[in-house]
Structure 1
């Protein structure tokens, strides 16, 4: 099919079938495996053979409640939509006039390609595109508003593709968006964190990589708070100077004590509860900054008066804007931190519902669960690792 499409660049070396296996939304909470046509890249697009895709908490929300575009727009649940946004793979076809990438090139992706013409996109805030959810205006958010990575192939805008270094494995490459989200949060706080104190609340995937990115950027000390010792231990491996188990200590009192009563310069709030938001407010120094990287699912009461009286700035982030994925990927390529420490399980694409269950229920300590299509290089590598790791399921 590809070699007959006008202007499409393909190669027999990377033969593209007419159809592919993909998972789509059925009723809320339901995924259905189907055979569907392989998408065709258009102008400024490339077709990616997906080699690995990680499961994000947002994927779980989309499976249960629908895509963000349908939720925000009050539209019906988006059946037949393919979720999945944290993927990497190999370029196997190029759209008309695309010469920025080569066939056979390994790439990782970021989610959002803004319309490129609205005020926010022109500011580099394409994750806050004012035409969000409108492909007719040029907006794409793979796995959010347009078909994503729980399939064998996906089309991506070239602005969302990032070349991978030869030494980076497929599973590690799927974590670039997670690290990019953490990088975006620190960017919005000002980016100049070298020598500044940073507290991260919530040792989920974004929180753990926020620790790693903050440490790689020179923050000191980096403090991580959470309720699970196993997660806090990973945080220490990723660079946390101090970890606080909030089941045994007050996070605010502990942070205040560590900072001589002043509080930290920056807080990256990654837990998304009313309690942790107010803890973030109370552990921030006067004139400090808070990034809300997670959000509660119900209205939260927050101590706004404390924010105002103490001149504390609050920033909310969505996704991985301002080219943060590219910058986080540079740190990963330079081995400034080992993102694979949060990769705990691998499943074949055919067992996606099981992989989703592991991620949702945190079975066997699951943090990042990676899914690989049958026959991919990732599957072969992970199958070899399975013999040495009981936490890999292939």
Structure 2
């Protein structure tokens, strides 16, 4: 059984020496294997993963490899476990950890910066200058270090927050998505009460950006996209106006709704050249744009428009500046219902099916959650 030296455990929680985990095989292939259950070091805890949501980035990692491998020109990282939007139960404590107790339900952030570089000391740990170097203390579970498509994971205490008793496992997996939206608004200035906010793209981050902006008092909150069902969910989450860009001129409507001057803030969650151009043209002088999506190809921007109109352009990575804790506080207070984007649930053993639903948007899947309350059989299943 699992009994590492220096680790605090409870006799009521039996932990196996080896755990079941999905790992990368070849590109577009996941294999269900057994791996040693990880051991928490100082300032770390072992989390029994109870649920994990699927993100579009997970699909990209399964196809192309982890970001650290890609950035470093390294070969496809086999035996790596992806999955980063998870929650679970504290199962064991590393040496001298007293911030959490065994048995507590916790939500996780993805990133734990090295804690020593210039960016980490500024609180910008998602932009850690030692990104992808675990030997320097950096961790990004599901990106550069093993993630949540498994029975257990190790997390730094800085990445954990207690889940309120009234919050379900599935809802807790959505905190990272809401936290990413919160981080975008934080980088734009944070104080959005009374300001006009446009969200482009009704994906998970875009929909929860609508919810967070409305919860923070923004007015009006406008959502643009191409799928009417998703735009309808945006209305339920607080959008004052939705615009189907296939049917209406988004830039013209935004300017009309803002007295002809354009929006104060635009959160761009689609990541295409056309939508980024729309963001520039619908932002007022001195306004701010957050790029929350990653374009897959080079885009051509009208830099002159940005410069002449003093428009600020921000890029964000992940869920930084403790935004997940603030987003979870809004969720706990029922300021918005994040579960409106949760459409499907599968057990861990059916992860390949869950990924297919997310990738192909079967039944208009938005957020697919994998529940891990029961152990999955070890098999050679592939995606």
Matched, 1:24 2:11: no
How do residues 1-394 of structure 1 correspond to structure 2 at under 5 angstroms? 1-3=1-3, 5-375=4-374
> Aligned partners of 1:55 and 1:180: how far apart in 2?
15
What is the Cα-based RMSD across aligned positions, in Å? 1.0
Q: Secondary structure at the match of 1:12?
A: coil
Q: Secondary structure at the match of 1:117?
A: coil
Instruction: Report if the CA contact (8 A) 2:87-2:172 is conserved.
Output: yes
Structure 2: gaps (5+ residues): 377-383
**1:375 offset after TM fit, Å?**
2.2
Q: For CA contacts below 8 A with separation 6 or more, give which structure has more relative contact order.
A: 2
Runs of 4 or more above 2 Å deviation = none
Q: Secondary structure at the match of 1:194?
A: coil
The TM-score, its normalising length taken from structure 1, stands at 0.94
> Aligned partners of 1:201 and 1:373: how far apart in 2?
33
**1:374 offset after TM fit, Å?**
4.9
Q: Secondary structure at the match of 1:332?
A: helix
**1:321 offset after TM fit, Å?**
0.6
Q: Deviations over 1:121-168 (max 9, x none)?
A: 001110000000000000000000000000011110111011011000
Q: Secondary structure at the match of 2:143?
A: coil
**1:58 offset after TM fit, Å?**
0.4
Instruction: Report if the CA contact (8 A) 1:90-1:106 is conserved.
Output: yes
> Aligned partners of 2:347 and 2:309: how far apart in 1?
51
> Aligned partners of 1:275 and 1:168: how far apart in 2?
38
The TM-score, its normalising length taken from structure 2, stands at 0.97
Instruction: Report if the CA contact (8 A) 1:2-1:93 is conserved.
Output: no
> Aligned partners of 1:163 and 1:296: how far apart in 2?
34
Paired positions, count: 376
Instruction: Report if the CA contact (8 A) 1:115-1:121 is conserved.
Output: yes
**1:2 offset after TM fit, Å?**
3.6
> Aligned partners of 2:2 and 2:120: how far apart in 1?
31
